[in-house]
Structure 1
Amino acid sequence: MVDASRLRVVIVGAGPRGTSVLERLLARCALSPGGQPGLDIDLIDPYPAGPGHVWRTDQSPLYLMNTPSFFPTLIPDQAMSAVPLTGGSFDDWRRQQRSLPDSDLTAAETAELAALEADGFPSRALYGRYLRRTFAALLEHAPSGTTIRVHATSATRVRAAVRPVVSAGALPGAPEQTAAGQFVVELADGGALAADHVVLALGHLPARLNPHQQQLAASARKLGLRYWPPAVPNDVDWDEVPGGEPVLVRGMGLNFFDVVGQLTQGRGGRFEATGEQPGEVLNYLPSGREPLILAASRRGAPYRAKAALTTYYPQGVGLRFFTEEAVSALTAAGIQPGFDQDLWPLLHRDALWAYYCTLARSDDGAALRSGFLAELDTLLSHSTAAGSGWEGDVDALVARSVPAAFRLDLPGLARPFAGRSFASHAEFDDAVETYLQADARGSAAGETDPVKMAIGVLNAGRAVIKALVADGGITGESWLGGLRGWFEAFVEGLASGPPALRMEQLAALARAGVVRFVGPDPVFGVDPEDGTFTAISPWVKAEPLRARSLVEALAPANLVLMNRSPLLEGLLADGLVRPRIMIAADGEPVVTSGLEVTAPPYRPIGASGGRTEGLYVLGLQLSSVQWGTAIAAESRGKYRSGYRTLQDADLIAADILAS
């Protein structure tokens, strides 16, 4: 029988975000143990609590994190009123394990920890070990009067348990909404849980294919071809990809390197050090079981690799113009800034200054004429108003001062082969290998490389933008047309890339003939007569490349209306949640990727327009009100956005306990 005197909270999803809500609930309960009611917390996840789906400890060690050891944390280390009960950052845990390892660490994990430094990139499995241990420590330190239960199953439905009542904030004439304390969470194993509050920390969800992907999948079934749709890499059995024949791989972002790793090292191939210059430090020794990987993406090349830095943002250069103070001044003046006209001009200045300052300190910058930096500083600082003509003045200064080979071309960084044609696939392969080698050299140079420092400043600017977006400080037209319209893909290709090791490995695979490249702007199709998938680039003057296998090196689409989750589909059908709609610059409504929610603590807006009390959203389904929702919380974050997800969890916990 349910004890009505106890507060019942169900957290759907026990990965990092669900665990963050648990941690905040426990920390806040401990502040006033005598004044809090009994608290029952149920966490629901078919995957292990702590690691969740993505960070499972049983996955291949070839899957690496995209951030170095010093970056991620599950436990807040600033800006919280309730002190954590236990635990620390991943790097804290890494150091502890090197001196006093847990008894259940495997030999492989112990070896990885022995070699892993603060600026190294851990395997996802090792990060999952940290998450699992932190979750266990939270259970050990739970305040008295608190019960925590983990259900290793899926939630299939969240429904109202009693008669609805009108919620605060409902629109006039709107139907009634659900009151707090009146949910039933149905489970895949047949059970059901009563809840006063439900937190949706759903993470990555399965998604339906887009029309083109559906056509490829249907053609594959008809012609007996092999098609792998977008997926979390560890969910795929890569042994099913046949060796010794071509396989088309579409997408060269982060999932691409996971796919390539499983089809090469995962099949017994080895990299050996050669001791040569960056970009050529590895040779690849094939096992003979690899396929011929035909790699394709819109850019024609992978994301640029991260620079070798001891901090997440460069120390030698930083934001001068696009600062949090400058953005606050805009909002204080009553301006809801637009991205293209108000924000990008400031960040563009910072990228230029970081690049040319770094160039001037290098050997390549020795030819800069005297006074160049002073003139550049004057032009950049003269006016921050839109339309001031500063860009033309800077271009003129650069044209007369900087040799053409050393001028910054930001669009060219993101599209390195734009406007170039290639006479053959071999010619394009050579061009990509040259690009990979140059990018690896730039990463190795770290703070002395002008390109990497310009990218580092763009990455810092991205952190400021994330905070601005989460605070509701950007127009809908600007979100759709500028931020999501062009800047997101631009900056991700520059600043969200893999560890530099991946660039070295890909260059070695290209030299070994294991990986070839299709070309920019590829067009995919099916040749029913030949019985193959085809891919051709308009910039490579050659016949289409063909394969009987095609892998989508992409994660499932994070679009709430494309999801295949019975839970989320049920919430939408029942009217407890709805997608967010924005109005584009042409006045047309656009259904966005995430849910419509209130201001923090992010209660969803239901179909009627009123908020659904007692229900909270955290994580990827906030992608219509937050930008960059997938990245982990940053330990000792420099910018507010670095620990935003922990603050969001804290606000949810506070709201739950206040009830």
Structure 2
Amino acid sequence: MKVAVVGAGPRGLLIASHLIYHFSQSSVKKLRIQIFDPYPIGGRVWKTTQPKLLIMNTIAQQMTMFDTQSFTGPNLYQWAKGQAIPYIESEDYLHKDTFINIAKDLGPNDYTPRCIFGVYLQWFYKEITTNLPKGLTIQFIQHSVKGLKKIDNGYELELGNHVQCDADKVVMNLGQQANKLTRDQQSLEDYAFKHDLTYYREGYAEDKDLSKIKPRQKVIIRGMGLNFVDYMTLLTVGRGGKFHNHDGRLNYIASGNEPRIIAGSIRGVPYYSKANNQKINGHHEPTHFLDEAHVKAHLNNRHLSYKVFIHLLRLDMELVYYTHLIKANYHNLDANKFKHAFLKSNDPDKVVKKYHFKKQDLVDWRKILNPVAGLKVTNLKDYRNAVIKWMNGVINDANLGNNTSSLASALEVVRDDRTPIRKLIAQNRFTDSEYVLRFLPIFYSISKFLSMGAPVVFMNQLRALMRARIITILGPRMHVIGAKGHFIAASEFYPKEYFKANTLIEAQLPKPRLTLSANPLLESLLQDGTLSRPTMKLANGQKYKINAANVKRGTDQVVNYRNKVQHNLYIWGLTTEGIYFNTANSPHPSGHDALLHAANRIARQMLGMKFKSYRLM
């Protein structure tokens, strides 16, 4: 049997590792695995050549490539303290000494440079491909797959230049892909070309040539998520600037090579920071309200309303918030008694009122979801001061830790509840209308804002850069146009205070939208009908197509335009975002990790073995 694995990032390597692990237990006598990727093992995101300044968004002890229920091995932290240095010394890495020093200094709760996880992935590949069982071969081909077509007994993969490979079964593990420009983006790029301006398309900051940006030049950056943090780092510390802690206050010492950055977004504030970790690896808050029993109790015609879903999630978050608040600030109260009363009550809000918390300690969901809501400021200077005040609180909370701070602990619940949320989607608990019109556009945005921010160190750095006047943050609803030979950016709230620049950076990463994808493989498969988009029927009778690759949930087999399952063709990951929830996460060392379960399941399917359908991602 010949299996083609398209993509050599973590997902592709997980598939390969599970195929290898299960091969000897299967009825397959001979297996050839071919892995394809234009980048080295590890893929684009985890290149070992990228600057060590670019940091992962997950702590070292929570990153792994080993499924504890199938085969065991070290997580990233354990590897750094064990196998890392001998492996690095044996390989021909350009920055060998740097990698060794990072491995030596790495702590379990440290956020690791992305290049080091790339080294871990390459070690993992070498580990799983050493001493292969008889009858199994594996080959890595550093090349893009441009197209794929069905042939009599399998598939033919087109690599370009009239080079083809054949396979009986194919699994596509495609990560972040470039998109075609939107109408707004195309207009701005055309304007840049016409007026000799510089326009950076969406994509990873590390892939861009930032040498065109000169010292003290004004640069507009649109987007304030994780990719913005990379741009911020490369344009400041990456140019010789330094952060210095003086009497507990972080200050920025400029090198003189920095540009002047004008940053903005729809919200007008950065994502909430990741708090310092205090939890034992694998621990997460149990789900009390978004559990199966409460969900079933609130079903109406087998569906859970979006309003009730949000209410149950908020109750989970409030329970954690007030329990930690009592432990930290109300020593005369008993946190366990509060928790018991909150869980048993039919009206938890009444329980909160009985405890007479100070007004400033009460949960204000409006302010949490929109920190600048109701601000009575009329200029950007006052807005900047208000944002820094909000950032002060976020930084203080995050520094306290995710098992001490009431707010940081509550925000962790959004991550902890991902598994029950995935179950709701897999069980079709939302109506098509509410899923399309409320969950996808509203909750996705809320989830990212509350739970997918950068480590707290970066918000602290952003605050220092704002104080140093290196970065200016615009108000909410940023918009950018080309006019009078420049890019012009302003907030809809403060339109009279606009900024002109000759460089515009789109700091958002391309959204996983199948019809926008500029990936030749996805484009060709969508065009010939091999890939399709799932259709949902709204309450008004209209049909809506989710902009994701349609797969059979629980098997990840591709469903074509005729709604037929392609039994030997699989796709999973970001390309299916919308069918599944939060497909961008990395594997975690826990027995319930959805990504590890999915890799195990897909591998067993391809080998013709029995498998459990977890239906989570």
> Could you state the TM-score of these two structures normalised by the residue count of structure 1?
0.86
* 2:510 is aligned with 1:556: yes
> Which residue of 459, 466, 479 corresponds with 2:435?
479
Whether the aligned pair in 2 keeps the contact of 1:525 and 1:533 (CA below 8 Å) is yes
Q: Please, which runs of 5 or more residues in structure 2 have no aligned partner?
A: 610-617
Change (3 A) 1:403 1:313: farther
CA distance in 2, matches of 1:391, 1:311: 27
Match for 1:654: what amino acid?
A: R
Which digits, 9 at most, give the CA deviation of each residue in 1:326-358, with x for residues without a partner? 45x569x89643352442222211112211222
CA distance in 1, matches of 2:103, 2:292: 37
CA distance in 2, matches of 1:294, 1:326: 46
State the partner residue of 2:327. Answer: 361
Match for 1:612: what amino acid?
A: Q
CA distance in 1, matches of 2:323, 2:101: 41
* 2:366 is aligned with 1:411: yes
CA distance in 1, matches of 2:339, 2:62: 34
Q: Which moved more, 1:19-28 or 1:532-541?
A: 532-541
Whether the aligned pair in 1 keeps the contact of 2:85 and 2:100 (CA below 8 Å) is no
State the partner residue of 1:112. Answer: 102
Change (3 A) 1:391 1:591: farther
CA distance in 2, matches of 1:303, 1:309: 18
CA distance in 2, matches of 1:74, 1:371: 41
CA distance in 1, matches of 2:252, 2:227: 20
Match for 1:648: what amino acid?
A: A
Whether the aligned pair in 2 keeps the contact of 1:70 and 1:118 (CA below 8 Å) is yes
CA distance in 2, matches of 1:425, 1:413: 21
State the partner residue of 1:265. Answer: 237
CA distance in 2, matches of 1:53, 1:98: 21
Whether the aligned pair in 1 keeps the contact of 2:85 and 2:103 (CA below 8 Å) is no
Query: Percent of aligned pairs with the same residue?
Result: 27
> Which residue of 561, 580, 588 corresponds with 1:634?
588
Which digits, 9 at most, give the CA deviation of each residue in 1:190-245, with x for residues without a partner? 32111111111121211112222222212212222211111122221122223212
Map 1:338-487 onto structure 2 (within 5 A): 338-363=304-329, 365=330, 378=341, 381-383=344-346, 390=347, 393=350, 397=353, 401-446=356-401, 447-470=403-426, 472-487=428-443
State the partner residue of 2:462. Answer: 506
Change (3 A) 1:324 1:125: farther
* 2:26 is aligned with 1:60: no
Structure with the higher strand share, 1 or 2 = 2
Which digits, 9 at most, give the CA deviation of each residue in 1:524-563, with x for residues without a partner? 2222x2x221222233374212211111111112100111
CA positional deviation for 1:522: 1.6
Change (3 A) 1:38 1:372: closer
Q: Which moved more, 1:140-149 or 1:284-293?
A: 140-149
Q: Please, which runs of 5 or more residues in structure 1 have no aligned partner?
A: 1-6, 163-180, 384-389
Query: Cα RMSD between the aligned structures?
Result: 2.6
State the partner residue of 2:272. Answer: 304
Map 1:3-14 onto structure 2 (within 5 A): 7-14=1-8
State the partner residue of 1:135. Answer: 125
State the partner residue of 1:188. Answer: 160
State the partner residue of 1:170. Answer: none
CA distance in 2, matches of 1:149, 1:574: 29
CA positional deviation for 1:312: 7.7
Change (3 A) 1:140 1:392: closer
Map 1:200-239 onto structure 2 (within 5 A): 200-239=172-211
CA positional deviation for 1:372: 10
CA distance in 2, matches of 1:194, 1:462: 38
Which digits, 9 at most, give the CA deviation of each residue in 1:578-637, with x for residues without a partner? 112223343322221211111322111111121122111121112132100011111125
CA distance in 2, matches of 1:91, 1:133: 14
CA positional deviation for 1:10: 0.9
CA positional deviation for 1:376: 8.2
CA positional deviation for 1:289: 0.9
CA distance in 2, matches of 1:267, 1:597: 45
State the partner residue of 2:222. Answer: 250
> Which residue of 529, 534, 538 corresponds with 1:584?
538
CA positional deviation for 1:25: 0.7
Change (3 A) 1:156 1:382: same
Match for 1:492: what amino acid?
A: K
> Could you state the TM-score of these two structures normalised by the residue count of structure 2?
0.92
CA distance in 1, matches of 2:317, 2:186: 41
CA positional deviation for 1:409: 1.2
Whether the aligned pair in 2 keeps the contact of 1:618 and 1:649 (CA below 8 Å) is no
State the partner residue of 1:89. Answer: 75
Match for 1:311: what amino acid?
A: K
Q: Which moved more, 1:310-319 or 1:18-27?
A: 310-319
CA positional deviation for 1:510: 1.2
CA positional deviation for 1:472: 4.5
Match for 1:126: what amino acid?
A: I
Whether the aligned pair in 2 keeps the contact of 1:336 and 1:475 (CA below 8 Å) is no
Which digits, 9 at most, give the CA deviation of each residue in 1:263-308, with x for residues without a partner? 00111111122241xxx3x221111111111110122111111111
Which digits, 9 at most, give the CA deviation of each residue in 1:48-74, with x for residues without a partner? 12x111111111111111110111212
CA distance in 2, matches of 1:571, 1:232: 25
CA positional deviation for 1:46: 0.7
CA distance in 2, matches of 1:31, 1:330: 43
Q: Which moved more, 1:249-258 or 1:537-546?
A: 537-546
Change (3 A) 1:314 1:405: farther
Whether the aligned pair in 2 keeps the contact of 1:376 and 1:394 (CA below 8 Å) is no
CA positional deviation for 1:314: 10
* 2:597 is aligned with 1:647: yes
Aligned residues: 604
> Which residue of 241, 261, 276 corresponds with 1:293?
261
Change (3 A) 1:379 1:511: same
Whether the aligned pair in 1 keeps the contact of 2:61 and 2:281 (CA below 8 Å) is no
CA distance in 1, matches of 2:452, 2:117: 19
Change (3 A) 1:607 1:75: same
State the partner residue of 2:612. Answer: none
Whether the aligned pair in 2 keeps the contact of 1:518 and 1:545 (CA below 8 Å) is no
CA distance in 1, matches of 2:427, 2:24: 29
* 2:16 is aligned with 1:26: no
CA distance in 2, matches of 1:460, 1:339: 21
> Which residue of 132, 138, 155 corresponds with 1:148?
138
Match for 1:505: what amino acid?
A: Q
Whether the aligned pair in 2 keeps the contact of 1:228 and 1:550 (CA below 8 Å) is yes
In structure 1, the residue corresponding to 2:34 is in which secondary structure? strand
CA distance in 2, matches of 1:480, 1:312: 37
CA positional deviation for 1:89: 2.3
CA distance in 2, matches of 1:372, 1:10: 54
Whether the aligned pair in 1 keeps the contact of 2:433 and 2:539 (CA below 8 Å) is yes
CA distance in 2, matches of 1:435, 1:457: 21
Q: Which moved more, 1:122-131 or 1:346-355?
A: 346-355
In structure 2, the residue corresponding to 1:217 is in which secondary structure? helix
CA distance in 2, matches of 1:101, 1:488: 40
State the partner residue of 2:449. Answer: 493
